[in-house]
Amino acid sequence: MTDYDKMLKKMCHADGFIAALDQSGGSTPKALRLYGIKDDEYEVGEKSMYDCIHKMRTRIMTSPKFNGDRILGAILFEDTMNREVEGLPTAEYLWKKKNVVPILKVDKGLEAEKDGVQLMKPIPNLDTMCDAALANGVLATKMRSVINQADLSGIKQIVEQQFDFGKQIMAKGLVPILEPEVNIKSPEKQEIEAMLRAELMENLKLLRDDQKIMFKLTLPTVDDLYEQLVTHPNVVRVVALSGGYTRAEADALLARQHGVVASFSRALTEGLRDDMTDDAFDTLLDTSIGEIFAASKASGVKKELHAHK
């Protein structure tokens, strides 16, 4: 069995969740502030900023509490993939040393809002990024867009763009994770989610049997709203983003979504600080991972649901 097959099998069948370690240029300063790194310790958008965030991510990835027993995969920013952890390329370190599937964030950020949504900016070098991901032993990619209002035209555009990029990624031999995030503060959240599910199901009908994708979705207002996606033969896994909820809130919501597992970022690193001792850092990270793992497992990933995969 090739590494690709082993990674795909793990992603489809194993218990666990995805660690989202992919803060990019826009979200990095906030992540560093929460971690206790002051704004005057680096220059925004410059190498010094990426050095700081890579140091933080390296501390998480090298922790003895961070491993494939409870973590399915880790989403990486491109700069992180191009760096090393303990002398190995990051993706290789994750898979070979930690048994954690490497995933690459490929989007370039969001356009301004129009028709109630924020589409992704163009990704002109997507093929090149996919080639680099494959060369690094990456299984999957992730790309995010945002829905703010229940505008059917905008939602259709979001889903169409996600699937168009997804098909380009699949053609390269990678598994795309489509992330059409729903703004949890939208007063129309429940209506948006129903419209989004309908559009996702319609677009899944257009895929060939051999085309496999994943979804990263906002925790829904209506429990088990995405059950049809979880059981769909083209869908490897459905994962949930924390989306601004606290870890406790996100875990409670997640535990009610059968077959859905976590892909948390802020909720995973909540409370971690640069000035912690290694013991304190590892203890809190262990608690975070344990709680998110338990919520993902409580959501009841039934092996029989994935028998066709």
Q: How far apart are CA 121 and CA 127, in angstroms?
A: 15
Q: How far apart are CA 309 and CA 287, in angstroms?
A: 32
Which pLDDT does position 27 carry in this prediction? 80
Which pLDDT does position 237 carry in this prediction? 95
Q: How far apart are CA 146 and CA 183, in angstroms?
A: 7
Tens digit of each residue's pLDDT (9 = 90 or more) over 6-44: 999 999 999 999 999 987 767 889 889 999 999 999 998
The tokens of 185 are what? 């503060």
Asked if 105 and 82 count as a contact pair (C-beta separation under 8 A), the reply is no
Which pLDDT does position 297 carry in this prediction? 85
Please tell me the total number of residues recorded for the chain in this structure. Answer: 309
Which pLDDT does position 303 carry in this prediction? 42
Which pLDDT does position 28 carry in this prediction? 87
Q: Label each residue of 184-196 as H, E or C.
A: CCCCCHHHHHHHH
Q: How far apart are CA 309 and CA 306, in angstroms?
A: 5
Enter the DSSP assignment of 64. T
Where do the H-state alpha helices sit in the chain?
A: 3-13, 28-35, 47-62, 78-81, 90-92, 98, 126-135, 152-171, 189-204, 227-230, 247-254, 266-269, 278-298
Which residues are known to be catalytic? 179, 216
Q: Is this prediction's pTM over 0.85?
A: yes
| Residues of the chain falling short of pLDDT 70 | 25, 298-309
Which pLDDT does position 302 carry in this prediction? 46
Pick the closest to residue 21 from 109, 110, 81, 93 (CA basis). Answer: 81
